């Protein structure tokens, strides 16, 4: 069964001259990283981890992107 997100947010991530865009989805039980996209780099996706806040999901997306 596919669950439709309640909300979708795109947040910019920066590290020096590098930049990426993270797409985050909100569900009843929290926020999830859908994809982190950086030009000329393969997209990154997270597992099904749910984060309690938008900020926590953004921070996790930044860590995912930088590792």
Quick check: 64 and 47 in contact, CB under 8 A?
Answer: no
16 part of a folded domain:
yes
Domain coverage including residue 31: 7-66
The pTM of this model reads: 0.90
54 part of a folded domain:
yes
Structure confidence by residue, pLDDT tens digits, 2-39? 789 999 999 999 999 999 999 999 999 999 999 999 99
Quick check: 41 and 65 in contact, CB under 8 A?
Answer: no
Domain count, the chain: 1
34 part of a folded domain:
yes
2 part of a folded domain:
no
1 part of a folded domain:
no
- Position 56 scores a pLDDT of 98
Cα–Cα separations (whole angstroms), residue 56 to 14, 21, 40, 42, 65:
16, 16, 26, 23, 14
Structure confidence by residue, pLDDT tens digits, 31-67? 999 999 999 999 999 778 999 999 999 999 999 999 8
């806040």: which residue's tokens?
A: 53
């Amino acid at each position: 069964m596919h669950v439709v997100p309640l909300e979708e947010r795109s947040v910019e991530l920066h590290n020096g001259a590098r930049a990426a865009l993270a797409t985050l989805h909100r569900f009843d039980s929290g926020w999830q990283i859908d994809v982190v996209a950086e030009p000329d780099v393969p997209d990154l996706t997270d597992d099904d981890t749910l984060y309690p806040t938008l900020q926590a999901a953004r921070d996790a997306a930044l860590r995912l992107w930088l590792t």
